[in-house]
Chains A and B, each alone.
Chain A
Amino acid sequence: MPKSSNPELRRSVTPWGSFSWGYSDVGADIFVGLGLVLAWAAGASNVAFLFAGIVYVCIGLAYTELAATYPVAGGGQYFVMRGLGDIFGFIAGWAVLLDFTIDVTLFAWTSVDYSSQLLPALVNSVHPWLHFTVVLALVIGLCLLNVVGVRESTAFNGVVSALDVVSESCILCFGFLFAFRPHLLIHTMQFNWPSPYQLMLGTSLAIISFVGLESISQAAQETQRPASIIPRTSVALILTILIFALAYSNLALGLQPWHPILDAHGHPQQFWQIFPNNADNQGKAVALLAAQVPYYGAFAALYVPVLGAVLLLISSNSGVFGSSRIAYAMSSSNLLPSIFQRVHSRFRTPAISIVFFSTIAVIELLFAAAPALYPHVAALYGRFFHGENGLEFLADLYAFGAATSYSFVFLGLIGLRLTDPLSPRKFKIPLNVPFRFRGERVEFPIVAVIGFVGIVSILLFTLRTHALGRIFGPSWLLLGLILYLAYRHHRRLPLLRSQKRDWRSAQTEILRRAGELELMDEYVANLKASDERKRRTA
């Protein structure tokens, strides 16, 4: 009797499903990023978002090309490992893991901040212990839900994403229609331009509004016709998020508030001025902005905090299962110990991985919440770390992890263009320089270089301006590298070099599994033609 083949992941993610996977992650970022950027970049917030947005477009295009060419679970770390080698793949994956663990805490934190708009007892500065307890309960709750295998469905993600796209479009359309003053925007930009240090800090925080494209790559293995669908969903996601981020920042600077905003002395304030030195407001910027939109704001004030809290919670959850997925993929590639692949016998989930990374998320929460909970810790932070608050601490690390992993992804893309020119690329980043490399025609991506320069400058901004980020971020990478080297030594695997892998067979199998049969045929034909050329040359 013939044996049945191994079961494969069912490809059930539709174009909207793929979009909503990414949107539930990236879409939530503006809820966090807007307040932080307004707090630091002030009159240049739109410029900070524009710079980060340009870098984000380059990142998005790179991810789109890579995810469409290599539709496997694993995302950035897989592309980097394949393009640059095992150790760089590990660093990229480890940085993404930092981002995912921060993602869990940061979004659970801001989910509670948005809830506090309707439930004032949850305001962090008023009841820090209650705020901390609720965030901790959310993180532990999400961890347990993931251990027992309960996850929000793609359909739920899809509905929440659709509601949010409509909601944000309405806020922006009504806001620009009824409350936007172009001359106020120009005035704010002229008279509230930040210092170079503040602009750098604001720009490094603006990048967190664009983190999460990884999710689309993560779902590539379950997406129908990934090579055709992913470019569309990625480009749509890039454009939608970019439009929202630029529109929000310009609207916030040129907004004529519907309700008067007064400072402590009773003087009227502009909308953006409620964010500097106010962590409570920074954590719920979109809800505050929506409430200031004429007419629509009365309705938006009721539902935006709820919608924001739900979307942020989904994003937090994506951090829990995303980290376990990445760890699983890294473990399969011998970049992490096999314990991260171990599946719970009853729940059939990578329980150890989930608990491990959730514990790291809790540790990060302790660091973030400590200044609000203990005054002497706040004094310590004030002395050594410029008095950063909890939200800024999380945002620092989030920006660091994203900038590090994205830098390697650009290098991975360039590496793969040189070492794997035969894989068919249904989507290719524009602006390429063709030349011959090792007997093959390759195309060097100019956009990847522009993106790399942009993201490295953001990484440098982060290291320069974030007192906590420049200590904890590199420490995380160093700790990871020590663990990696110890593990590889224990397994008697090459420490700095890569394991030998048959990428040709792997790529054929990837395309077959993806159902991209035409691309598989093209790849096999390319391989044959290349072998023939080499034989003739020899």
Chain B
Amino acid sequence: MPGSEVHVTATGAMVALFIAGAVGSTLWWMLHPPPSYVQKIAAKAEHELERMVGSLIVVFSPEIDSAHMMVLAAKLARGERSELLALYIVEVPYTLPPDAEMPFEERQALDALGAAETIANKSNVAIRTETIKTRSTKQAVLDVAKREKAHLIILGSFREGKYSGAPLGRLIEEIAADAKCDVLIGVEGKHGTLLIDESVQPSSQAV
């Protein structure tokens, strides 16, 4: 049961205001230290990344295996709220007419783009898919990138079995060389040799 009347005094109100203001401003000041040199570098890199991944294209084709890069692309797109396009290129050889039916390649395209959609959905990212038939994969990728005003083209890669002057694949290197936007090439580590311990001999060898 209340035992006293409440008397609001000017002094009390001013002290209350001072306490709230002083504690609040002190904590705000503490939580906003000036950035250090390395933090400035990191902030600049983050800004660059935001610019870089505004619009993403992930490219698939029989020669470009980007399935493993799709997860990364989806996470990037989610983090930066980017537009994501999965593009499958079917290259029509000159021995066939431009609109020739290529059921096997088209089936492969459906599989690749379906998997891309599943990955994007899992990451809760909106994705568009597109299949293009073309005479030149490189030109098709560059044309779509121009049309979409893409900031980043993502290409998966695998090492060629023998040295051909283009360790990442000739097509990939050509796209990377000619694209007017950033290109991210992902090479699967399982094809590398760096971590293989050569001292260990296989337990059984073919005779």
A180 contacts which of B4, B11, B27, B30 (Cβ < 8 Å)? B11
Are the C-beta atoms of A176 and B6 separated by less than 8 Å? no
B136 to chain A minimum Cβ distance, whole angstroms, is 45
CB-contact partner of B7 in A16, A256, A515, under 8 A: A256
Cβ contacts under 8 Å, B12 to chain A: 176-182
Q: Judge whether A366 is part of the interface by a CB distance below 8 angstroms.
A: no
Q: Once the chains are docked, how many angstroms separate the CA of A172 from the CA of B37? A: 40
**Subset of 5 A-B contacts with CB under 8 Å:** A232-B33, A236-B27, A256-B4, A257-B3, A259-B3
Please tell me if the beta carbons of A228 and B3 are within 8 angstroms of each other in the complex.
no
A19 to chain B, nearest CB (A): 6
Cβ contact within 8 Å between B2 and A229: no
The 5 closest A-B pairs by CB, nearest first: A236-B30, A180-B12, A260-B3, A176-B16, A173-B16
B177 within 8 A of A: no
CB contacts (< 8 Å) of B15 on chain A: these are 176, 180, 247, 250
A243 on interface, CB distance cutoff 8 Å:
yes
CB <8 Å contact, B19 and A243: yes
A-side contacts of B30, CB under 8 Å: 15, 19, 232-233, 235-236
B9 at the interface (CB under 8 A from A): yes
Measured in the bound complex, the distance between the Cα atoms of B149 and A329 in whole Å is 59
* Contact A176 to B13, CB < 8 A, known contacts A243-B19, A257-B3, A259-B2: yes
Contacts of B22 in A (CB 8 A): 239, 243
Q: A359 CB to closest chain B CB, in angstroms?
A: 38
Q: How many residues of A contact B (CB 8 A)?
A: 38
User: In angstroms, how far is the closest chain A Cβ from the Cβ of B97?
Assistant: 57
Interchain CB contact (< 8 A) of B23 among A175, A228, A243, A515: A243
CB of A128 closer than 8 Å to a CB of B: no
A517-B20 in contact given A176-B15, A236-B30 (Cβ < 8 Å): no
Q: With the chains together, A77 CA to B140 CA distance in Å?
A: 70
For B29, the chain A residues whose CB sits under 8 A away are: 232, 236
The residue in chain B whose Cβ has the minimal distance to the Cβ of A177 is: B16
Complex interface bits, B13-36 against A, C-beta within 8 A gives 1, otherwise 0: 101110110110011011101101
On whether A239 and B16 interact (CB within 8 A), knowing A15-B33, A258-B2, the answer reads no
- Dominant secondary structure at the A interface: helix
* Cβ–Cβ < 8 Å partners of B20 in chain A: 169, 173
The smallest C-beta distance from A30 to any residue of chain B, in angstroms, reads 14
A178 and B6 in contact, given A169-B19, A169-B20 (Cβ under 8 angstroms): yes
Given A176-B12, A294-B2, verify A165-B23 contact (CB < 8 Å): yes
B207 at the binding interface (Cβ < 8 Å): no
Q: Which of B29, B30, B38 has the most CB atoms of chain A within a 10 A radius of its CB?
A: B30
The answer, yes or no, to whether B196 is at the interface (CB within 8 Å) is: no
> For A260, what are the chain B residues with a Cβ–Cβ distance below 8 Å?
3-4
Q: How many residues of B contact A (CB 8 A)?
A: 28
Smallest CB separation, B5 vs chain A (Å): 9
Q: Which residues of B contact A258 (CB under 8 A)?
A: 2-4
Using a CB–CB distance below 8 Å, which chain B residues touch chain A?
1-4, 6-9, 11-13, 15-17, 19-20, 22-23, 26-27, 29-31, 33-34, 36-38
Q: Quick check: is A240 within 8 A (CB to CB) of the other chain?
A: yes
Give the docked Cα–Cα distance between A74 and B6 (Å).
50
Name the residue on A nearest B24 (C-beta): A169
The complex places the Cα of A257 from the Cα of B3 at a distance, in Å, of 8
Could you tell me which residues of chain A, from 184 to 234, have a CB within 8 Å of some CB in chain B? 225, 228-229, 232-233
Residues in chain B near residue A176, CB distance under 8 A: 12-13, 15-16, 19
Report yes or no: A177 in contact with B4, Cβ–Cβ below 8 A: no
Quick check: is A502 within 8 A (CB to CB) of the other chain? no
- For window 1-49 of A, CB contacts with B under 8 Å fall at 15-16, 19
Q: Which residue of A lies closest to B30 (CB)?
A: A236
Contacts of B36 in A (CB 8 A): 225, 228, 518
Q: Are the C-beta atoms of A294 and B26 separated by less than 8 Å?
A: no
Please indicate the chain B residues that have their CB under 8 angstroms from the CB of A515 in the complex: 38
CA distance A225 to B42 in the complex (A): 14
Residue A174 at the chain B interface, CB threshold 8 Å: yes
When chains A and B are docked, how far (Å) is the Cα of A249 from the Cα of B36?
40
Q: Please, how many angstroms separate the alpha-carbon atoms of A176 and B17 in the complex?
A: 9
- Tell me whether B19 and A259 are in contact (CB under 8 A): no
- List A residues 138-159 near B (Cβ within 8 Å): none
Minimum CB–CB distance from B59 to chain A (whole Å) comes to 37
Instruction: Tell me the bound Cα distance from A232 to B27 in angstroms.
Output: 9
B200: min CB distance to chain A, Å:
15
Which residues of the other chain, B, contact A228 by a CB distance below 8 angstroms?
Answer: 33-34, 36
Whole-angstrom CA separation of A247 from B33 in the bound complex: 27
A178 CA / B15 CA spacing, docked (Å): 11
In whole Å, how far is A23's beta carbon from the nearest beta carbon of chain B? 10
**With a CB–CB cut-off of 8 A, which chain A residues contact B3?**
257-260
Which of A169, A177, A239, A243 has the most CB atoms of chain B within a 10 A radius of its CB? A177
Query: A236 vs B23: C-alpha distance in the bound complex, in angstroms?
Result: 9
A174 touching B11, Cβ below 8 Å: no
Residue contact B4 to A172, C-beta cutoff 8 Å: no
- When distances are taken between beta carbons in the complex, the residues of chain B under 8 Å from A174 are 16
**A 244-269 to B, binary, CB cutoff 8 A, 1 in contact else 0:** 00010010000011111000000000
